[in-house]
Amino acid sequence: MSDSPLPLDAAEETRARIDTTKPHSARFWNYFVGGKDNYEVDREIGDHIKEIFPGLVDVALTSRQFLGRAVAYLAGEQGIRQFLDVGTGLPTADNTHEVAQRVAPDARIVYVDNDPIVLAHANALLTSTPEGRTAYLDADLYDPEAVLRAASGTLDFSEPIALMILNTLGHVADHDQARDLVGRLVAGLPSGSHLVISDSTATSEGMIAASEAYNASGAVPYYVRSIGEIAGFFDGLDLVDPGVVQVTEWRPDDADGPGAAEVAVDAYCGVGRKA
Ligand SMILES: C[S@@+](CC[C@H](N)C(=O)[O-])C[C@H]1O[C@@H](n2cnc3c(N)ncnc32)[C@H](O)[C@@H]1O
């Protein structure tokens, strides 16, 4: 079962909200993972950044591979049946519900994003199995309680939920505020829930230069954090092995291709369990 995001007459209004004069992170990221749902303005800054820091392509691709491994681990080894994916991005290959429902067809997934272009493409995220369910919320990370309230229309908050916030927290410039938002989301989840985070890190001059170039482009800025700051999001949770590591090092899988685990990237991740 799936929940339609938009009455048809609202689709046009949503498209009118899409700003094609400035780069947008969902479209920029879509360009980096090889998608087609981006505009000239996104490709221009994307190409510039590929020139100054080609490593961002690896960050984007390996972060999506991490998503796949983390969701398969949670659904397969931890028996998680519910996922709340905040900062979903544009649909691509192996979205959260596709990975989860391959392992557990009855899995329920709620996607959350505040970009109108993601809303406009959300039908591709709603291709649920008959036993499971997917929903899309046009909602804002800055209002965690509203996100949780709306998600409770699809998810059962008496059962564990995996909260996924991948490559999105950099939009929250102030680290204390980012921690507060994550903490408020986690506070609303039951025991046995998990927090999954990945993000770009200020671990090379190239990544810092890429971040500066992106932020100078007129896009909503994206700040890259230290490894310690990424680890801090998991305070109070039990970190799943191997802890906070580069995205390629988290439970690597041969399915990602030979040598995938050895690729060095400026992106770190972790999975933590709420006791
Ligand atoms: C770089 S993309 C990451 C997409 C996906 N999670 C991934 O890892 O491939 C960041 C996403 O966060 C969304 N986003 C940014 N600020 C947000 C906010 N305040 N509330 C909800 N989503 C937000 C953007 O629209 C974009 O789709």
How wide is the angle at C-alpha 218 spanned by C-alphas 216 and 220, nearest 5°? 100
Tell me if 269 sits within 8 A of 198, measured CB to CB: yes
Ligand 1 pocket mutation, candidates 37, 49, 171, 247, criterion most atoms within 8 A of CB: 171
Ligand 1 atom 12 nearest Cα = 87
End-to-end CA distance of the chain: 31
In the prediction, which pLDDT does 16 show? Answer: 84
Q: What is the pTM of this model?
A: 0.96
Contacts of 214 (CB under 8 A, 6+ apart): 23, 28, 45, 49, 221, 222
- Average pLDDT of 197-209? 98
Ligand 1 atom 16 nearest Cα = 171
* Nearest ligand 1 atom, CA 60: 9
Residue with tokens 């996104």: 42
Of the candidates 260, 171, 272, which has an alpha carbon nearest to the alpha carbon of residue 231? 272
Residue 27 sits in a domain whose CATH number is 3.40.50.150
In the prediction, which pLDDT does 181 show? Answer: 98
250 vs 4: CA distance, rounded Å: 34
Q: Given pLDDT bands bounded at 50, 70 and 90, which one contains residue 273?
A: very high
Of the candidates 95, 96, 90, which has an alpha carbon nearest to the alpha carbon of residue 36? 90
Joined together, the tokens standing for residue 163 give: 């909260």
Domain count, the chain: 1
- Average pLDDT of 197-210? 98
Residue 174: pLDDT over 70? yes
**pLDDT tens for residues 65-120?**
999 999 999 999 999 999 999 999 999 999 999 999 999 999 999 999 999 999 99
Q: Residue 167 Cα, ligand 1 centroid: separation in angstroms?
A: 7
Q: Residue 118 Cα, ligand 1 centroid: separation in angstroms?
A: 9
Q: Given pLDDT bands bounded at 50, 70 and 90, which one contains residue 13?
A: confident
**pLDDT tens for residues 106-157?**
999 999 999 999 999 999 999 999 999 999 999 999 999 999 999 999 999 9
Residue 1: pLDDT over 60? no
State the residue range of the domain holding 40. 2-273
Q: Residue 251 Cα, ligand 1 centroid: separation in angstroms?
A: 24
Joined together, the tokens standing for residue 20 give: 């094609």
- DSSP code of residue 240: P
> What is the signed CA dihedral for 37, 39, 42, 46, rounded to 10 degrees?
70
